[in-house]
Structure 1
């Protein structure tokens, strides 16, 4: 399966991914940024990287290993990646944090790097993620416009908020201990694996048909 921890910066995605993976068997963990982020990285770049990681997940899939990936691509981008239907299962979790905590974390992690406008952009991106996780019809232009032309958006454009395939786990890390959040990620993965094995995973094989 392909597991994705998504969300805006400083929500705790990477920390949770590596900690959860240490508790689980047959899962490889990676972060999108581990390959480096070029100056001026945009949607086009993010879309191509999403497809690259989906293909990496397919390589792991052939070995009987799941991929747990942290990065900022939301569910809509994962589903639109050209190779996504070849995955035997997809599950996405939005790792979120309240705006004041995100601002504080950004200032602590990268002192002086971000001006007010840049930090506001991170907070705005987080707010969009929350709405997208609940409703596929909410501002799809945010990820579609000026994107990589190979993306297959019509796989899900037209779905509504009640479609069972449109499912993103929500994890708010605000004022919560890291271990508690890791527990939730671990339990989420266990539940998604069980649903997949039982044939109940809504984004299992054939979801795009």
Structure 2
């Protein structure tokens, strides 16, 4: 139910913005680049793509939706950090590459259809991983995520500090010691440009496999 809700909600916000989530391209899926494979504590194994480790995208920085769409065309999606182990795995790769920041699939439910009581207030209860549909724990429970203790205003994240300029900070980025706070989660306005991490999407891989018999993914 949560996954279906999240997918519906992200579809609504994309439609409102007159932009669309990309459909996977079978050939791109079959030829997708995978830099690492990780098996988490749940026994789930996924492959990952790091944009700064691939020559054609080494210097590419895009907004949040474009990062998802690049991933989705390759049967992947922007990374969803659903366990502490997966979070640490990605953070280590960021540090190793000396990357300043990246996009994840994290999104705040603050658009039409997000008026459910259990999602209020959005900055506390409305965060979810759009790549997988999993809900992120309340931001007031500091041990349930990896939000930074500080930001541009010196306040714990998410602080939505760009709201005063009309830019709701609705997307979740990882910043590499940007505020002398280590490698931590921050809420960021979705139009900012950043490198990104893709993760295999079982949903998209199954979708392509079901429509392309014999394809090797």
Check whether TM > 0.5: no
Q: State TM-score, norm by structure 1.
A: 0.31
**Richer in strand (by share):** 2
**Which one scores higher on RCO, CA 8 angstroms, separation ≥ 6?**
1
